Amino acid sequence: MEFLLFGVVLVTILCRFEVGFSLQQVTSTTSNKISFIGWDDFKVDFQKMGNDNNNDDDNKGRRSRVIVVDKNGNGDSLTVQGAIDLVPNYNSQRVKIFILPGIYREKVLIPNTKPYISLIGNQSQTSETVISWNDKASDRDNNGFQLGTYSSASVSIESDYFCATAITFENTVIADPAGYGMQAVALRISGDKAVFYKVRILGTQDTLLDDTGTHYFYKSYIQGSVDFVFGTARSLYKDCVLQSTANYAGAVAAHHRNSPRENTGFSFVNCMVRGTGNIYLGRAWGDYSRIIYAFCYFDKIITSPGWKEQEQIEKVEFHG
What positions carry a catalytic annotation? Answer: 227
With 0-12 / 13-18 / 19 or more C-beta atoms within 10 angstroms meaning exposed / middle / buried, residue 52 is: exposed
Q: Where are the alpha helices (DSSP H) in the chain?
A: 8-17, 46-50, 57-62, 80-86
The residues, any chain, with a CB within 8 Å of residue 84's CB and separated by 6 or more, are: 97, 108, 109, 110, 114, 117
Q: Which amino acid is at 83?
A: A
Q: Residues 6 or more apart from 142 whose CB is under 8 A from it?
A: none
Cα distances (Å, whole numbers) of residue 263 to 34, 49, 233, 288? 25, 42, 9, 11
Residues 6+ apart with CB under 8 A from 1: 298, 299, 300, 302
Q: Answer for the pair 187, 209: CB distance below 8 angstroms, yes or no.
A: yes
CB count, 10 Å around CB of 99? Answer: 27
CB atoms within 10 A of CB 299: 16
Is 44:66 a contact under the CB 8 Å cutoff? yes
- Judged on CB neighbours under 10 Å (0-12, 13-18, 19+), 128 is middle
